[in-house]
Amino acid sequence: MERYRVFVTRAIPQEGLEILGRFCDVEVSAIPGAIPREVLLEKVKGKHGILALLTDTIDREVMEAASETLRVISNYAAGFNNIDVEEATRRGIMVTNTPGVLAETTADLTFALLLAVARRIVEGDKLVRSGQFTGWDPLLLLGEDVYGKTLGIVGLGRIGKAVARRALGFSMQVLYYSRRALPKEEEKALRVRYVELPELLQCADFVTLHVPLTEATHHLIGERELAMMKKSAYLVNTSRGPVVDEKALVRALREGIIRGAALDVFENEPDVEEELLTLPNVVLAPHIGSASLATRTRMAMMAADNLVKALRGERPEYLVNPEVLKG
C-alpha cells in the first residue's frame, strides 16, 4: 500500500496524528509557533498533503514548492481565507476545512467575553491581584446588565445561531443581519428578527460579529459603523480580526463613542494595536474561540480524516472546492 508523504505545519492533538499515521509518513513542524515562510517552502517539497493552520498562508508559491505531488491542503480551521482556493482548484488540489465542530465552543467564548466586558471582570481581577481591593463599595466597578438587553448578531451562521440560543437564557431581544434572512419558521424558533446593518448597530446594546473574512467583510465595522452604535454599546469580535478597523475601534473606545469591546481576534495577528493594550474598556483574548480540549481534538481528527480521504481517492466530507473533482 502506498504511503503518502504529509507535512503538518504545527503540532496538533495526537488523535489527529494517529489517523494520519495509519496511511501516511507524517512530518510535523518542530518549530514552536507559526512556521517561518522559508521553512514552510522547504518542508512542503514532494509532499502529497499539507495539514495547515489558519496562520499559514498557502498560496501559489507554496503550491509550486510542493510541485505536482501535492493533492490536498487540509485546513485545521472553519475558515480558509489563508488559502488561495482558486489557485488550488486550477492545479487540481483539493482544499478542505473543519466547519461546524467549533460553533458551540466559540459561542461559549463569545458570551464569556460579552459578560466579562459588561461586568468589568478583568478590571476586577486586576484590582484584587494588585492588593488594591479594600472591601465592598456601592460605586466599585459599576458595569452593565446583560439580562433583558438587545443583542445584535452580525452573521447568523452556525456560530451566530449558537450565540442566539444562549441569548434566550438571558431574555435578550435578538436582532440579526446576515447575507440572507432565515425562513420565518426558523426565525421564530430562535426568536430573532432580521434587520439591516445600520438598524442593528443603532439598536443593539451588544454587537457580536460572526462573519467570514472576505473582500466584502474586510473592515465591515469601521469609523462610520462605530458612530452608529449607542454610546453605551459594546462590540464583541470572535470572527476574524480584519473585519474590524482596529485603529477606528481604538478611537471609538478612547473617545467614548462606544462603551467597550471584547476581542478574541486582531487585525494583524499576532500583533495588536498598541493602544488597545492600555485601554481599560477592552477585554483581549489570544484567539481561543475554539480552544477547548474536546473541540480542538475533534478539529484535528476532522482535518486528518479530510486529508486521508482525499489522498485515498475518496471525496472528503468537508471539501471547499468540489469543482476540482470535475476536472
Interval 236-294: pLDDT, tens: 999 999 999 999 999 999 999 999 999 999 999 999 999 999 999 999 999 999 999 99
Q: Which residues, in sequence order, are CB contacts of 271 under 8 Å at separation 6+? A: none
Residues of the chain with CATH 3.40.50.720: 4-101+293-326, 103-284
pLDDT value, residue 1: 62
- Classify residue 83 by its DSSP letter: B
pLDDT value, residue 88: 97
4-101+293-326, what's its fold? Rossmann fold (3.40.50)
Output the average pLDDT for the chain: 96
> Where in the sequence numbering do the catalytic residues fall?
240, 269, 287
For the 103-284 domain, the top CATH level (class) is alpha beta
pLDDT value, residue 326: 80
Average pLDDT of the segment spanning 88-95: 97
pTM: 0.90
In this predicted structure, the answer to whether residue 232 has a pLDDT above a threshold of 80 is yes
pLDDT value, residue 305: 98
Report percent pLDDT > 90 for the chain: 96
Give the model confidence (pLDDT) of 116-162 as tens digits: 999 999 999 999 999 999 999 999 999 999 999 999 999 999 999 99
Average pLDDT of the segment spanning 67-89: 95
Q: Which residues on neighbouring strands pair with residue 28, listed in sequence order?
A: 8
Q: Whole-angstrom Cα distance, residue 249 to residue 244?
A: 7
Average pLDDT of the segment spanning 204-211: 98
- Which of 32-36, 62-66, 121-125, 166-170 is predicted with the least confidence, judged by mean pLDDT? 32-36
pLDDT value, residue 79: 87
pLDDT value, residue 10: 96
Q: How many CA atoms lie within 13 A of 34 on its CB side?
A: 11
96: cell is 478542505
pLDDT tier at 2, thresholds 50, 70, 90: confident
Report percent pLDDT > 70 for the chain: 99
68: cell is 505536482
Q: Which residues on neighbouring strands pair with residue 49, listed in sequence order?
A: 6, 72
Q: Which residues, in sequence order, are CB contacts of 263 under 8 Å at separation 6+? A: 113, 236, 237, 241, 244, 276, 282, 283, 284, 285
Neighbours of 143 (CB within 10 A): 16
pLDDT value, residue 300: 98
Give the model confidence (pLDDT) of 149-189 as tens digits: 999 999 999 999 999 999 999 999 999 999 999 999 999 99
Locus of grid cell 438587545: 150
